[in-house]
Amino acid sequence: MNAIVEAARSWVGTPYVHQASRKGAGCDCLGLLRGVWREVIGPEPVTVPAYTRDWSEPQGEERLWQAALAHLVRKPLDAAAPGDVLLFRMRDGSVAKHVGIQSRIGDDAAFIHAYSGHGVIESALSAPWARRVVARFAFPVEAL
């Protein structure tokens, strides 16, 4: 089993709490990614500043994408592997601001994410979700 997927699955059922990153208590999508990083790699590389629910939208800044480029390894969109970090653009023309961790590839592709109103869940990477993926990243290899 992939260590990243195993760690992410251990968060399933954690309630959705904006800005939080504590397994079982609450997290948002970034908090899930941060928590998996801590479990698999170690201390987080930076302290995440407070952010609002609409962060980076008014300015049109790709802050999440820039952070991913700084701390993860960019991959081609068609090079799927379990444990990849997926970056989603939830609406056309908006900034990318949702992340998930790919848990399965192939015909039954799925990802784990913290989703408002649902908490941390494993979802099918169905066509509506897949068309929103704008970038794919891997955790730093040297850290694993």
Which CATH superfamily is 3-143 part of? endopeptidase domain like (from Nostoc punctiforme) (3.90.1720.10)
Q: Is the dihedral of CA 70, 74, 77, 80 positive or negative?
A: negative
Q: Which carries the bigger pLDDT value, residue 61 or residue 111?
A: 111
Q: Which of 10, 144, 51, 29 is nearest to 98 (CA)?
A: 29
The H-assigned helical ranges of the chain are 3-9, 29-40, 63-71, 127-130
Domain boundaries of the chain, sorted by first residue: 3-143
Q: Model-level pTM? A: 0.92
Summarize pLDDT for 83-108 with one digit per residue, the tens: 999 999 988 888 888 999 999 999 99
What integer pLDDT is reported at residue 143 of this predicted model? Answer: 52
Instruction: Decide: 76 and 86 in contact? Cβ < 8 Å.
Output: no
